[in-house]
């Protein structure tokens, strides 16, 4: 049974949103609170994680071919609670706490029908021009991408199911299984999450490399079994089963490929090294499988289960917390070496 779209009493006509109007310029604006289409839900946003891509859009106004040409709301790692449903959505979902899968593929694209909807070329994705993101009090999402989370999962963890999904997609592609030996290059939030997922998938050795001592220490605290300095430690001789590249640095790609055992698998998650020189002889002589990761497909149910069970701990990644009118401070904080995940809470009042 579908329910009529109703405007619950108490839902404001206007909401606050943090808007990027030009590189380096973000401010809070009042915007109409959106209304859900038939298949959508309106979510009151509890927590939003800051991602490196938000910082990049803020600093440069573009990522590759995606250019900010009109005002844009950043933020795509979001969790909250459903406050209104569209006419085709069960009314009983109002009040449900959810994690948002921030994408909208076409249902009938060849990629979606083939099972990898993340690769739909017409994808609409939060905080990717021209689609607004979640640094706002309320957001819309199709009901099937508002994934229910249990009460034991915090708003922060609900938001961070998004980067966790990147880690799950990478671990699946890397074929990580019981007893695997894994190398992860880069101990930023993505690398640390990949390390936790690798452990949850049964890996016995999870070696993380990073140039930063601070980040190596964080990785050891949050899931790695060993943390190495790529400038001095003998990473190339590790002979691991799987390599997940999470730094975006060309030297790390080459080092990781050298560290694989014959017939091992490399998964390139990090972005930025667009045309690195690749050791083709290694890939051929060792018959390495080299693949990429672009976001995720079908990861949320497992992400929620891993967090609910305690196999993955997302709350410990949070190193800073800001209100909606402090988004610039949040973006700046998240560039610090000691910062892993900065959270923006749209419902929180700033201290100032």
Ligand X SMILES: NC(=O)c1ccc[n+]([C@@H]2O[C@H](COP(=O)([O-])OP(=O)(O)OC[C@H]3O[C@@H](n4cnc5c(N)ncnc54)[C@H](O)[C@@H]3O)[C@@H](O)[C@H]2O)c1
φ and ψ at residue 180, rounded to 5 degrees? -60, 150
Give the residue from 343, 351, 331 showing the smallest Cα distance to 154. 343
227-246 positions binding ligand X, by CB under 6 A:
230, 246
Exposure string for 154-180, b = 16+ CB within 10 A, e = fewer: bbbbbbbbbbbbbbbbbbbbbebeeeb
- Per-residue binder mask for ligand X (CB under 6 A), 206-225, x = binder: ---xxxx--x----------
Our finding on whether 333 is near ligand X (CB under 6 A) is no
Residue given tokens 């990027």 in the structure block = 20
Our finding on whether 316 is near ligand X (CB under 6 A) is no
Piece of 94-102, 195-203, 219-227, 266-274 that binds ligand X (CB under 6 A): 266-274
Piece of 38-46, 258-266, 288-296, 319-327 that binds ligand X (CB under 6 A): 288-296
160-179 positions binding ligand X, by CB under 6 A:
166
Give me the least distance between CB of 248 and ligand X, in Å please: 3
Q: Which of 23, 272, 305, 313 binds ligand X (CB under 6 A)?
A: 272
Our finding on whether 112 is near ligand X (CB under 6 A) is no
DSSP 239-303: -EEEEEE-S--HHHHHHHHHHEEEEEEEEE---S--S----HHHHHHTT-EEEE--S-SS-HHHH
Give the residue from 334, 352, 335, 351 showing the smallest Cα distance to 343. 334
Our finding on whether 247 is near ligand X (CB under 6 A) is yes
CB–CB of 82/93 below 8 Å?
A: yes
Q: Which is nearer to ligand X, 110 or 214 (CB)?
A: 214
Our finding on whether 189 is near ligand X (CB under 6 A) is yes
CB–CB of 183/242 below 8 Å?
A: yes
Give me the least distance between CB of 257 and ligand X, in Å please: 13
Our finding on whether 188 is near ligand X (CB under 6 A) is yes
Give me the least distance between CB of 255 and ligand X, in Å please: 7
Number of residues that bind ligand X (CB under 6 A): 28
Our finding on whether 298 is near ligand X (CB under 6 A) is no
Q: Which of 49, 167, 270, 346 binds ligand X (CB under 6 A)?
A: 270
Give me the least distance between CB of 51 and ligand X, in Å please: 6
Q: Which residue is nearest to ligand X (CB)?
A: 188
Give me the least distance between CB of 194 and ligand X, in Å please: 9
Give the residue from 283, 282, 299, 300 showing the smallest Cα distance to 173. 299
CB–CB of 76/63 below 8 Å?
A: no
Our finding on whether 73 is near ligand X (CB under 6 A) is no
Give me the least distance between CB of 113 and ligand X, in Å please: 21
Alpha helices (H) along the chain = 52-60, 110-113, 155-159, 161-174, 189-200, 213-222, 250-259, 280-285, 300-309, 327-333
DSSP 248-264: --HHHHHHHHHHEEEEE
> Which residues, listed in sequence order, are joined to residue 40 by a DSSP beta bridge?
142
37-56 positions binding ligand X, by CB under 6 A:
52
Q: Which residues bind ligand X (CB under 6 A)?
A: 52, 166, 185-191, 209-212, 215, 230, 246-249, 251-252, 269-272, 293-295
């Amino acid at each position: 049974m579908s329910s009529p779209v109703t405007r619950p009493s108490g839902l404001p006509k206007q909401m606050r949103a943090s808007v990027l109007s030009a590189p380096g310029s973000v401010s809070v604006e009042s915007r109409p609170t959106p209304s859900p289409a038939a298949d959508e839900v309106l979510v009151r946003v509890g927590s939003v994680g800051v991602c490196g891509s938000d910082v990049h859009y803020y600093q440069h106004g573009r990522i590759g071919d995606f250019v900010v040409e009109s005002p844009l709301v950043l933020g795509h790692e979001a969790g909250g609670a459903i406050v209104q449903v569209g006419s085709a959505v069960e009314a009983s979902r109002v009040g449900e706490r959810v994690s948002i899968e921030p994408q909208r593929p076409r249902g009938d694209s060849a990629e979606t029908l083939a099972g990898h909807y993340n690769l739909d070329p017409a994808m609409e994705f939060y905080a990717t021009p021209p689609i607004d993101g979640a640094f706002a009090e309320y957001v819309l999402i199709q009901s099937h991408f508002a994934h229910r989370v249990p009460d034991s999962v915090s708003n922060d963890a609900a938001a961070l199911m998004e980067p966790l999904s990147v880690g799950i997609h990478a671990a699946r592609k890397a074929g990580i299984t019981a007893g695997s030996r894994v190398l992860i290059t880069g101990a930023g939030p993505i690398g640390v999450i990949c390390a936790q997922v690798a452990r949850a998938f049964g890996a016995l050795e999870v070696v993380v490399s990073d140039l930063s001592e601070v980040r190596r220490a964080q990785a050891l605290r949050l899931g790695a079994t060993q943390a190495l300095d790529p400038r001095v430690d003998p990473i190339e001789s590790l002979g691991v089963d799987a390599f997940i590249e999470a730094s975006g640095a060309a030297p790390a790609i080459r080092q990781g490929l050298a560290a694989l055992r014959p017939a091992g698998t490399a998964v390139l998650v990090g972005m930025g090294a667009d045309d690195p020189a690749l050791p083709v002889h290694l890939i051929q002589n060792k018959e390495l499988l080299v693949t990429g990761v672009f976001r995720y497909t079908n990861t949320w149910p497992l992400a929620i289960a891993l967090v609910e069970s305690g196999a993955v701990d997302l709350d410990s990644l949070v190193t800073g917390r800001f209100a909606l009118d402090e988004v610039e401070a949040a973006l700046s904080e998240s560039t610090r070496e000691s910062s892993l995940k900065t959270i923006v809470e749209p419902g929180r009042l700033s201290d100032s």
